[in-house]
Amino acid sequence: MEVVVSEKGEELVKRLDEISQKENRVVNMKRLLDLYTMDIFAKVGFDVDLHGVESDQNAEVLDAFERMSVRMLQRIQQPVWYWKLLRWLNVGPEKQLAEDVKTTDELIYGVMSRSIEEKNRAISASSRKDLISLFIEKSEAEYTKGVHTKKDLKLMRDFVISFLAAGRETTATTMSEIFCFFFTVFLHF
């Protein structure tokens, strides 16, 4: 993980250097740090490189992930019958949510399939293991009450989504707050 963080840190510094070369350019640090943390968590969790910092563009899965989070918050504020009706009719934000879930599932299940295939063929593309590979190894060695735990791909997917959601938002927000804190402290000196 340290290697990934330092590699992505170098990319972030290069991107900030590019931006600083242009005059009168405002930097949305929160967005840049969102891209940075998603790049790190995708690489550590999936061994997938999204190149968000270099391209300054959200990966399709990041856009889908953000829309899914917003939709879940909207559901809480709506009557249950309303969003269930929209889901049943497959219209509006519920249709978009279904498409976003499909996009996210395709990425995650694709990476899981690749990891399982590599494990079965005993192939390791790199010396470091991604989160999914570690989860697969653990599920093969784990015993619960004397019974071997079977691989549950849906559970693994849920675990990875939780990892991304918890890690990406909290890390990017904390880093943004630290930048704001240092900026205000240095203004007073």
Mean local confidence (pLDDT), 36-43:
84
Q: Tell me which of 128 and 40 has the higher pLDDT.
A: 40
Q: Which of 2-6, 50-54, 143-147 has the lowest mean pLDDT?
A: 143-147
Supply the pLDDT for residue 101. Answer: 94
Supply the pLDDT for residue 146. Answer: 53
For the chain, list the domains and their CATH numbers. 2-179 (1.10.630.10)
* pTM of the complete model: 0.71
Q: Tell me which of 50 and 71 has the higher pLDDT.
A: 71
Tokens describing residue 46? 């999936």
Supply the pLDDT for residue 123. Answer: 59
Q: What whole-number distance in Å separates Cα of residue 113 and Cα of residue 86?
A: 32
Supply the pLDDT for residue 147. Answer: 53
* Cα dihedral 86/88/89/93 (nearest 10): 40
Q: How confident is the model at residue 49 (pLDDT cuts 50, 70, 90)?
A: confident
Q: pLDDT digit string (tens) for 10-34? A: 998 898 888 888 877 778 888 888 8
Q: pLDDT digit string (tens) for 57-113? A: 777 888 898 899 899 999 999 999 999 999 999 999 999 999 999 998 998 888 888
Q: pLDDT digit string (tens) for 128-179? A: 677 777 777 776 665 454 555 556 788 888 888 888 788 777 888 888 888 8
The pLDDT of residue 3 is above 80 = yes
Q: Which residues contact 85 (CB under 8 A, 6 or more apart)?
A: none
Buried b (16+ CB within 10 A) or exposed e, 5-37: eeebeebbeebeeeeeeeeeeeeebeebbbbbb
Q: Tell me which of 122 and 63 has the higher pLDDT.
A: 63
Q: If you search the block for the tokens 């675990």, which residue do you land on? A: 159
The pLDDT of residue 52 is above 70 = yes
